[in-house]
Chain A
Amino acid sequence: MKLMKTILMAGAATALATAANAQDGGGISNDAVKIGMILDMSGAYSALDGQGSVAAVEMAIEEMGGEVNGAPVELVSADHQNKADIGSNIAREWADQENVDLILGGANSGVGIALQEITSEKGVAYINNGAASNSLTNESCAPETGLHWTYDTDALSNGTAVAMVKEGNESWYFITADYTFGHNLQKTAENAVKENGGEVVGSVAAPFPTQDFSSFLLQAQGSGAQVIGLANAGTDTQNSVKQAQEFGIVQGGQKLASLLLFLTDVDALGLDAAQGLTLTTGFYWDQDEQAREWSAKFEEKTGSKPTMVQAGMYSSALQYLKAVEAAGTDDSKQVIAQLKTMPIEDAFARNGKVRADGLMEHDMFLAQVKTPDESEGKWDYYNIIRTIPGDQAFQSIEDGSCEAAKEMASGGEQSN
């Protein structure tokens, strides 16, 4: 009896709260635009994301003058500690109690997808930078509220594989981290290799995580393939690249292709070990004048050059605020719809546009890591070989599995 009563009370309280929210309607709710960042501040991705990303978003807010349509922009951030439950707990709390309007999610696909589910349920705008999984705009897509900004597994592995096959490196061997992410990377790259006339002579699934790759590298060496594709990330990539050098693999004439490599990985590896690696990146600080200028400011603020994730964070926050300004509201669905009509062009993005499925399609860059002699100092690590236009880099909506976006594209009503 008592329990029943409490439940009823709870129900009434929730109903009241919902009504209060609904009253706000258009305009800027709660007289502020509140951005919440949920990132890895202390774990494996904190170097490429973390505090640097917060600094980047602060730069975006400063650029807007700290306010949109007279409403101040507030920023909060939290560490998800690479735990999906901690990340989603924060997101729920922010959505339920703190009136956060936009959640910016960082690296870690598990957390990234969890955040997408919650924000879509709560109707909060969500932009992810740093999660690799293409699932964000495929199986787990939430095109009305959730966007994926910097890169995804498709763009990275596809870009690198196509470019290398075209240069005549036709036979491939993959060392793949044995979990969904690794297999996805390999599958995309493998398809790209085959479509462009190359062949895959073999692959080995290395448990995740692995410290000693020598055994797998020897198997790759023994295969005689021209290219050894590394379908892994983070410390796994660092260890495999480092040990490949030790076993004289590159000196032996084989090439290494890393399907996911960040500027900070190269920095940790050092050019001695990383030189000659081919990779695809969504942003390089030295890619053009606009990027250089912004990156110099970023370096002044943080002490290092931005990674593509950090630059992407800046870009997504800036564009979001511009969209709020243009739409005159911070209602998530209206702002996301507004973003889809805007060309995305800033220090980070070239020829960017937000697609119906939530993917921010933009140019990617094929890069090669410089030799120690070529490099003029810290952070001078990449030679940009060529630009990969966005529509070639990313998977198309038709080939993807975001049904909601396909229906929208074909003019149908969204089912969800």
Chain B
Amino acid sequence: MDFLGIPLPVFMGQLLIGLINGAFYAVLSLGLALIFGLLNIVNFAHGALYMVGAFVAFLLLDYVGIGYWPALILSPLIVGAFGMVIERFLLRPIADLDHLYGLLLTFGLALLLEGIFRQVYGVSGETYAIPASLQGGFNLGFMFLPTYRAWVIVAAVIVCGATWFLIEQTRLGATMRAAVENADLVRAFGVNVPLLVTLTYGLGVGLAAFAGVLAAPIYSVNPLMGSNIIIVVFAIVVIGGLGSIKGAIASGFMLGLFEGLTRVFYPEASNIIIFVVMAVVLIVRPAGLFGKAA
């Protein structure tokens, strides 16, 4: 059975792989969207912090002997705390300036982090083994699905769902959303808005680190791993529009799928397809697929 000249099993396999890549995009663009929502800055250091997340997992294993599962919690916590320090001491002083300064500052941070890790660990990359409990795979009939890849989807869906729930369904989330709309008013109700901002940045950065730990066992842990993915995620965010949490998640998964399809039909273009989509969206719907019209 063929689908557009491609055997159906191959086609299904590629869709599934696209979805797995989409999971990474979703978690990363979700973090970006969260930070943008409350701080109004685009966190250029997001890719670098994703890389740091992977490295923290690697270092925990290498120096302290802490394995994958604890690292999955610990690394986002450590990187999230680091993010909160960044927010408190670097981003807050410039919070009242043009938001472009935030972009520039985080860009500088990204260079710093990348440079430091390059200096210390070189560029050839470190290996991080897939945890024993997630080795092997399932034969789905149309493809061999490694257990770890299946886990990536599950983990991403859980994390995205939990974040969505936190923002949309809890009191804390309601306060956060209110602070986005009108920070002064929320402050008048006695909410510590600066603390809220710090926590949000920590959460967004923690999500990036989580994606980093997820990526560690399948990609090589390497200081440059964040610098290319961040631009793709930027494009995804432009496509989705920074308007909503759901938009960030949905466009992450969707573009992963789309990229997967390109790898079958026209692999040469798979690195640029997301940018092409971005250009088209900008022409047709400048505010993004899920964004509110500006």
A399 to B267, CA, bound (A): 32
A270 to B128, CA, bound (A): 10
Would you call A178 and B263 a contact (CB within 8 A)?
no
A343 within 8 A of B: no
A248 to B146, CA, bound (A): 8
A12 within 8 A of B: no
Interface residue range, chain B:
35 or more
A6 within 8 A of B: no
CB B33 to nearest CB in A, in angstroms, measures 22
Q: Per-residue 0/1 for A296-326: is the Cβ within 8 Å of any B Cβ (1 yes, 0 no)?
A: 0000000000000000000000000000000
Would you call B127 and A46 a contact (CB within 8 A)?
no
A44 and B124 contact, Cβ closer than 8 Å, known pairs A222-B10, A235-B222: yes
Which of A216, A246, A252 makes the CB contact (< 8 A) with B267? Answer: A216
Give the residues in chain A near B229, CB-CB below 8 Å.
211
B244 within 8 A of A: no
A47 and B10 contact, Cβ closer than 8 Å, known pairs A42-B118, A214-B149, A247-B144: no
Would you call B14 and A215 a contact (CB within 8 A)?
yes
> Which A31-48 residues have C-beta < 8 A from chain B?
42-44, 46-48
Give the total of A residues in contact with B, Cβ under 8 Å: 39
Would you call B264 and A215 a contact (CB within 8 A)?
yes
B262 closest partner in A (C-beta): A215
A44 and B123 contact, Cβ closer than 8 Å, known pairs A211-B228, A238-B220: yes
Would you call B220 and A264 a contact (CB within 8 A)?
no
> Which A52-103 residues have C-beta < 8 A from chain B?
none
Which of A44, A178, A248 makes the CB contact (< 8 A) with B144? Answer: A248
> Which B214-262 residues have C-beta < 8 A from chain A?
218-220, 222, 224-225, 228-229, 260
Give the residues in chain A near B137, CB-CB below 8 Å.
246-248
Which of A110-118, A128-136, A201-209, A374-382 is near enough to bind chain B? Answer: A201-209
A269 within 8 A of B: yes
Give the residues in chain A near B218, CB-CB below 8 Å.
212, 242-243, 246
A47 and B122 contact, Cβ closer than 8 Å, known pairs A218-B10, A246-B130: yes
Would you call B125 and A235 a contact (CB within 8 A)?
yes
Give the residues in chain A near B124, CB-CB below 8 Å.
44, 46-48, 234-235, 238, 264-265, 268
Would you call B144 and A268 a contact (CB within 8 A)?
no
A241 closest partner in B (C-beta): B220
A396 within 8 A of B: no
Give the residues in chain A near B123, CB-CB below 8 Å.
42-44, 46-47, 235
A222 to B2, CA, bound (A): 14
Give the residues in chain A near B272, CB-CB below 8 Å.
207
CB B175 to nearest CB in A, in angstroms, measures 37
B129 within 8 A of A: yes
Which of A216, A222, A243, A264 makes the CB contact (< 8 A) with B7? Answer: A222
A392 within 8 A of B: no
A247 and B146 contact, Cβ closer than 8 Å, known pairs A215-B14, A215-B263: yes
A-B contact pairs, 11 of them (CB 8 A): A204-B267, A209-B228, A211-B228, A215-B260, A215-B270, A238-B124, A238-B125, A239-B219, A248-B146, A268-B125, A270-B127
